[in-house]
Amino acid sequence: MAKARKNSTVKLTFDTLQYAPAPESKSIAKIDTQYDLFINGKFEKPLSKKYFDTINPATEEKLSSVADANVADVDKAVQAARVAQDKIWSKMPAKERGKYIYRIARMIQERAREFSVIETLDGGKPIRESRDIDIPLAANHFFYYAGWADKLQYAFPNTNPKPLGVAGQIIPWNFPLLMAAWKIAPALATGNTVVLKPAETTPLTALKLAEIIQESDLPPGVVNIITGAGATGAAIVNHADINKIAFTGSTEVGKIIQRAVAGTNKKLTLELGGKAANIIFEDAAIDQAVEGVINGIFFNQGHVCCAGSRLFVQESVYPIVMQKLKDRIATLIVGDPMDKNTDVGAINSKQQLETIHKYINIGKKEGANIFESNCVLPKKGFFCKPTLFMNVAQSSRIAQEEIFGPVLAIQTFRTDDEVIEKANNTPFGLSAGVWTDKGSKVFNLTSKLRAGVIWANTYNKFDPTSPFGGYKESGFGREGGLHGLSAYLNV
C-alpha cells in the first residue's frame, strides 16, 4: 500500500514495532513462603492447622501458602474484634481514630510499588493498572475516610451517629487491595472494628496490608484479616456476634448470604454482579466512545462487576464503530501482566477461565458472530483473547448472564426508548455508560436507566468521594462518599 520511500537509508524494524519486553522487577516484592491469620494484632497459626496455596495465574507458579481459617479461627477473630470495639476503638476520640487511618494511607503510598507488584503477581492484572489505579485509589480511600472520622456529626446533622460494632467483610479477587480499602476505611472511620476475609485466589495484598496495620500501631483487634475460601466466609456470615456483613462478589453468593442473614439483626450491604449497558448514540464522539468501550470491557480482563459487557450501538454508526473497535483490539497487548506494556493480563484463575470459555462456546452455539483478537497467548498461565460477539439477541445467555471476562456482547438499536428498554431488561443494575454529544440526551438516559452508577462520555471512573452500588440483583447499599459512611452507622 505505502509507496517506496524516497530517501530512507536505514532498515527500520520499528516498522513492525513489537515493544521490547519491559518487565517490572519482582525483587521489591517480599513474599513469605507462608502466611498465618492476622488476629488481635498478631500473625497466629490457624487452629485448623490447614494451609492452601496461592498461585500466580500468569505462570501457574506457587507464590505462597496461606492459612485456611475454620469456624474456631473465625470465632477467635470476632472475639478479638469485639473486645477491641468495646474497650478501645469506640472509646477513642474520633480524631485519634482518624490519625491511624491517615497513617495507614501514607504507609500504603510509601509501599505502593511493592503492593503493585504483589497485586499483579497474585491476581494477574497488568502492572500498569495496579500501579496507576488499584493502589493509588486504595490509599485515597483511606485518606478520604480518615478525614470523616471526626466529622460524623457534620455528615449526619442533628443526629448522634454510633458505630454498629463488629463488621464481617468479605471481598472478591478482582480488586483485592482496593476492595479491602473500600471496606476497612469507612468501617474504621465510623468506629467499627472488622474481620476481613480476602478472596482465596488473591489473599496476599490484604496480608501485606495486615503487616502495615501492625506497623502502624493500630490497637490490636481493630482490624483482623483472616484467609480462607467459601467455608470461612460462611463462618463469618453465620457468626452470632457480628453486627454487620459487607460483601462484594457474585450474585449467587450474595443471595446465599442474604438468606443466612435474614431473621438476624445483622445489617447487610451487598455489591454483586452486573451486566452493564454501554450505549453509543450516533452523535457521540466515536473515537473516544470506542476507547471507552475498550476500557469498559477489557479493563482488568473484564473482571469488573461494573464492566460494560453489553454494547448498544445506534444502527447508523454501527459499521464505523465496529471497524474502529476491531482496529483498536488489534493494538491491545495481551500477555505477561508484569510487563509495563501489557494492556490485558492473566485471567484470575483456571476456574474463571473455564467459565469464560463456557460462555464463549454458548455464544457460538447461540449463533452470534464472534471476533477475537489475533494476539498470541502465552503458553503457560490463564489467558483469554479479547472477544466480541456481534448479532447478539437480547434473549441470548451471553447478553443476559455475567461472564466476568473480556467478552463483549454487541447489539444495535434505533430509538432512545428502545435502548432504554433493552438496557433495563436485565436482572442486574449496577452501572451503565452513555455516549452522546447532547447534554439533554445524557440527562434523559441517566434518569431512566436503572443502574447505580451511570457514566456519561467516560467509563470505569472511580473516586472515593463518589458512592458506588447497585439496583436489583446487583445488590444494595452504597460504598464510597457520604453514603459509604451511613452503611456503618446507627444514625
Site residues (CB under 8 A) for other proteins, limited to 429-448: 437
Integer Cα distance of 244 and 489 in angstroms: 10
Alpha helices in 269-415 (DSSP H): 286-298, 318-330, 350-365, 397-400
Integer Cα distance of 269 and 475 in angstroms: 7
Taking the complex as a whole, the smallest distance from the CB of residue 141 to other proteins amounts, in Å, to: 22
Q: Provide the annotated active-site residues.
A: 271, 305
Please state, as a whole number, how many other Cβ atoms lie within 10 Å of the Cβ of residue 19.
10
The answer to the question of residue 25 lying near other proteins (CB under 8 A) is: no
Nearer to other proteins, 288 or 361 (CB): 288
Q: Give the three cell numbers for residue 65.
A: 501458602
The answer to the question of residue 326 lying near other proteins (CB under 8 A) is: yes
Which one of 4-12, 140-148, 155-163, 303-311 is the stretch in contact with other proteins (CB under 8 A)?
4-12
Strand spans (E) along 83-238: 162-163, 166-170, 193-197, 223-225
Taking the complex as a whole, the smallest distance from the CB of residue 127 to other proteins amounts, in Å, to: 10
The answer to the question of residue 369 lying near other proteins (CB under 8 A) is: no
Site residues (CB under 8 A) for other proteins, limited to 132-171: 132
SS3 77: helix
Candidate residues 57, 191, 273, 292; the one interacting with other proteins per rule CB under 8 A:
292
Name 23's Cβ contacts closer than 8 Å, sequence gap at least 6. 336, 338, 339, 340
Taking the complex as a whole, the smallest distance from the CB of residue 414 to other proteins amounts, in Å, to: 20
Give phi and psi for 362, each to the nearest 5. Answer: -60, -45
Which one of 102-110, 224-232, 299-307, 319-327 is the stretch in contact with other proteins (CB under 8 A)?
319-327
DSSP 141-176: HHHHHHHHTT-HHHHSTTS--EE-SEEEEE--SSSH
The answer to the question of residue 92 lying near other proteins (CB under 8 A) is: no
| Size of site (CB under 8 A) for other proteins | 43
The answer to the question of residue 14 lying near other proteins (CB under 8 A) is: yes
The answer to the question of residue 110 lying near other proteins (CB under 8 A) is: no
Nearer to other proteins, 12 or 491 (CB): 12
Closest CA to 110 of 81, 139, 84, 130: 139
Q: What angle do CA 198, 29, 136 make, to 5 degrees?
A: 65
Closest CA to 270 of 468, 484, 476: 476
445, 345 in Cβ contact below 8 A?
no
Taking the complex as a whole, the smallest distance from the CB of residue 177 to other proteins amounts, in Å, to: 21
Candidate residues 34, 316, 331, 465; the one interacting with other proteins per rule CB under 8 A:
331
Taking the complex as a whole, the smallest distance from the CB of residue 489 to other proteins amounts, in Å, to: 35
Candidate residues 231, 330, 376, 482; the one interacting with other proteins per rule CB under 8 A:
330
Taking the complex as a whole, the smallest distance from the CB of residue 280 to other proteins amounts, in Å, to: 12
Integer Cα distance of 80 and 100 in angstroms: 18
The answer to the question of residue 458 lying near other proteins (CB under 8 A) is: yes
Question: Which residues of the shown chain bind other proteins in the complex (CB under 8 A)?
Answer: 1-3, 5-10, 12-22, 128, 132, 283-289, 291-292, 320, 323, 326-327, 330-331, 339-341, 437, 457-458
